[in-house]
């Protein structure tokens, strides 16, 4: 980092006085701006940001006090410190006027060089530190933006190759008369692909939380129903490790206002941690209760490795997994609890961890405010069963990643739709002119433009339903897709069942 240049303004109507001031104050890193009148000083102040102004009080046309008052009347210069230079004594009333106009000090002529230099040195060092701090903040902000861009690009590059694999596995799972052993292998493949996607999501969530951009979309949620869905998700892992799994949903009031997707993310994080850190044939318990008339509590208790007293204060810190041995032994990024804490607190709730110590299990408790029990109104797709198309659609699929384009076209055709494929914006526009379609499914990152631009161009010809595919899944990316006119934004790796569910609701 190069040393910043600090600027002082010297104002005196006598050239000899200006030269003398310049001689006394000259130093490396300091630029001295000289003005011979108030008007000339104001012109310089329009062009330069100064860190100190030394003004002669007695000048023709505009004295130092008048110049100071004009400086205080402008936002650009109102905070510039002023030292008045004056010959002879000043009566108390004029001195008060000087301080009222913004003076920080008076120096009397003839000037004592060491007094002037010592005072000027103080403002020089303050300005130097302020400028260094400003540059450091700017560099930190630039580095943070670069990090966010890198994380988004990294997630895109990691997600894209997962998409054709996940879609192929999904298609094979619905193959009739598939042997049980093949089903089990496909289940294992799917779980690991989804785990990889979850790790990518955790990195993006951590970035959003760090930037204060975690988005919550509240709805009425039945906590018991959400916990049951989570239990179904982890059922195979529970059976695989032969856990004793206990549920005790005793809370009579269990409806909350929350983002169902985010809240499920919290509960799954806690349950998957319990599974990961509990040995085979251990015990996991989920219970609900009402601590008081206004809240519901959810506890996940296990008989696993527990939390040492040294690790407990840091348990919700990002990238924290206890000691180094725990990090290498159990794997993972150590982001789940940090993200869960941010999500719970964004809902106005609290999350706590308790343990009697190492190898004595742990208990995590989430507390949320309840709402009156009403009928839930949560729209969710059941992705466990294959979707049968309600009608055959004419689809334009635009994807420059050949494996994804090929498997996507094949699966959509198998589901009864008519598919035309393209690998670029130009190909897509040409295909649309010769093959009118009901909906377009397009990747957003194309070699000759953006899927957003393609969507806008298609809508100029005729109304069309759009489904965006992208490896970028931050809130800003979803908003961009919505603004461009897309009906849905699917983040890679794409769940084929989710895409088919969306298409089943398309009405043309």
Q: Which residue ranges make up each domain of the chain?
A: 6-132, 160-213+382-508, 217-369
Instruction: Show the CA angle centred on residue 372, arms to residues 370 and 378, nearest 5°.
Output: 85
pLDDT at residue 375, as a whole number: 39
Most confident of 89-93, 125-129, 141-145, 178-182: 125-129
Q: How confident is the model at residue 417 (pLDDT cuts 50, 70, 90)?
A: very high
CATH number for domain 6-132, candidates 3.40.50.11540, 3.40.50.1110, 3.40.50.2300, 3.40.50.20: 3.40.50.2300
Does 46 have pLDDT greater than 80?
yes
Q: What is the pLDDT of residue 210?
A: 67
First vs last Cα of the chain: how many Å apart? 60
Rounded to an integer, the average pLDDT of 208-218 is: 70
Q: What is the pLDDT of residue 477?
A: 81
The pLDDT mean for the chain works out to 85
Q: Decide if pLDDT at 41 tops 50.
A: yes
**Percentage of residues of the chain with pLDDT beyond 70:** 88
- The Cα-based distances of 473 to 200, 207, 385, 502 in angstroms read 10, 12, 25, 18
Going by pLDDT thresholds of 50, 70 and 90, the confidence category of residue 216 is: confident
* Interatomic CA distance for residues 254 and 218, integer angstroms: 15
Instruction: Kindly indicate the confidence band of residue 61, based on its pLDDT and cuts at 50, 70 and 90.
Output: confident
Task: Answer whether residue 99 shows pLDDT above 90.
Answer: no
Would you tell me which CATH number, out of the four given (1.10.10.10, 3.40.50.2300, 3.40.50.620, 3.40.50.720), belongs to the domain 160-213+382-508?
3.40.50.2300
For the domain made up of 217-369, give the CATH fold: Heat Shock Protein 90 (3.30.565)
pLDDT score of 35 more than 60: yes
Q: Specify the range with the lowest mean pLDDT, choosing from 150-159, 408-417, 435-444.
A: 150-159
Beta strand 255-258 with 244-249 is unpaired
Using the predicted structure, report yes or no on whether residue 374 has a pLDDT greater than 80: no
Find, among 504, 502, 507, 465, the residue nearest to 484 by Cα.
465
Domain 160-213+382-508 identical in fold to domain 217-369: no
Confidence of residue 298 (pLDDT cuts 50, 70, 90): very high
Nearest CA among 342, 339, 335, 233 for reference residue 286: 233
Measure the CA–CA gap between 122 and 208, rounded to whole angstroms.
41
Which residue carries 């719970």 as its tokens? 344
- Check whether 1 has a pLDDT greater than 80: no
Higher pLDDT, 418 or 478: 418
Q: Which two tokens stand for residue 414?
A: 């198998």
pLDDT over 70 (residue 127)? yes
Is 70 exceeded by the pLDDT of residue 330?
no
Give yes or no for residue 225 having a pLDDT over 80: yes
Position 185 scores a pLDDT of 82
Predicted local confidence at residue 381, as pLDDT: 41
Q: What is the pLDDT of residue 379?
A: 39
pLDDT tier for residue 380 given thresholds of 50, 70 and 90: very low
pLDDT of 147 reads: 74
Reported as half-sphere exposure (CB side, CA atoms, 13 A), residue 451 has a value of: 31
Tell whether the model's pLDDT for residue 9 goes beyond 70.
yes
Residue 187 confidence class, pLDDT cut points 50, 70, 90: confident
CA distance 95 to 93: 5
Local structure of 362: helix, strand or coil: strand
Q: Is the pLDDT of residue 385 over 50?
A: no
Arithmetic mean of pLDDT, 477-506: 86
| Most confident option among 65-69, 166-170, 257-261, 297-301 | 297-301
Q: In what order do the strands lie in the sheet with 30-35?
A: 30-35, 6-11, 52-56, 82-87, 103-109
pLDDT value of residue 384: 44
Confidence of residue 413 (pLDDT cuts 50, 70, 90): very high
pLDDT value at residue 491: 83
């Amino acid at each position: 980092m190069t040393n910043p240049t600090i600027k002082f303004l010297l104002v005196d109507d006598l050239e000899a006085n200006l030269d003398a001031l310049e001689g006394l104050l000259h130093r490396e890193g300091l630029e001295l701006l000289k003005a011979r009148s108030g008007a000339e000083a104001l012109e310089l102040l329009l062009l330069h940001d100064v860190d100190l102004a030394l003004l002669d009080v007695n000048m023709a046309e505009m004295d130092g006090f008048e110049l100071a008052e004009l400086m205080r009347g402008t936002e650009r210069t109102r905070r510039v410190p002023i030292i008045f230079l004056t010959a002879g004594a000043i009566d108390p009333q004029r001195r008060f006027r000087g301080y009222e106009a913004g003076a920080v000090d008076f120096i009397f002529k003839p000037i004592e060089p060491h007094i002037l230099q010592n005072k000027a040195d103080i403002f020089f060092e303050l300005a130097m530190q302020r400028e260094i701090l400003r540059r450091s903040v700017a560099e930190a902000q630039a580095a943070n933006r670069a990090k966010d861009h890198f994380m988004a690009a990294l997630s895109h590059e990691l997600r894209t190759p997962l998409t054709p694999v996940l879609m192929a596995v999904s298609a094979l799972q619905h193959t009739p008369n598939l042997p049980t052993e093949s089903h089990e292998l496909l289940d294992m493949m799917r779980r690991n692909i989804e785990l990889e996607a979850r790790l990518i999501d955790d990195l993006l969530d951590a970035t959003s939380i760090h930037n204060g951009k975690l988005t919550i979309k509240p709805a009425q949620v039945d906590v018991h129903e959400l916990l049951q869905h989570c239990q179904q998700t982890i059922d195979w892992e529970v059976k695989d490790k032969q856990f004793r799994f206990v549920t005790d949903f005793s809370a009579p009031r269990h409806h909350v206002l929350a983002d169902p997707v985010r809240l499920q993310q919290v509960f799954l994080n806690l349950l998957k941690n319990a599974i990961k850190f509990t040995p085979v044939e251990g015990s996991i318990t989920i219970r609900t209760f009402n601590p008081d008339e206004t809240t519901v509590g959810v506890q996940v208790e296990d008989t696993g490795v527990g939390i040492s007293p040294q690790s407990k204060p840091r348990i919700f810190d990002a990238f924290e997994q206890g000691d180094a041995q725990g990090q290498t032994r159990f794997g993972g990024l150590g982001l789940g609890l940090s993200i869960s804490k941010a999500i719970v607190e964004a809902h106005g709730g609290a999350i706590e961890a308790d343990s009697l110590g190492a190898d004595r299990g742990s208990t995590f408790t989430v507390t949320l405010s309840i709402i009156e029990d009403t009928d839930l109104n949560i729209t969710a797709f059941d992705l466990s069963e294959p979707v049968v198309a309600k009608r055959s659609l004419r689809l334009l699929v635009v994807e420059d990643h050949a494996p994804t384009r090929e498997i996507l076209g094949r699966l959509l055709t198998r589901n009864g739709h008519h598919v035309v494929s393209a690998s670029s914006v130009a190909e897509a526009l040409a295909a649309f002119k010769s093959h009118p379609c009901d909906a377009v499914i397009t990747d957003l990152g194309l070699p000759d433009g953006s899927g957003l631009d393609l969507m806008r161009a298609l809508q100029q010809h005729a109304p069309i339903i759009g489904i965006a595919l992208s490896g970028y899944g931050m809130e800003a990316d979803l908003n961009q897709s919505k603004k461009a006119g897309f009906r849905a934004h699917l983040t890679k790796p794409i769940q084929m069942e989710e895409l088919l569910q969306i298409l089943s609701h398309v009405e043309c």
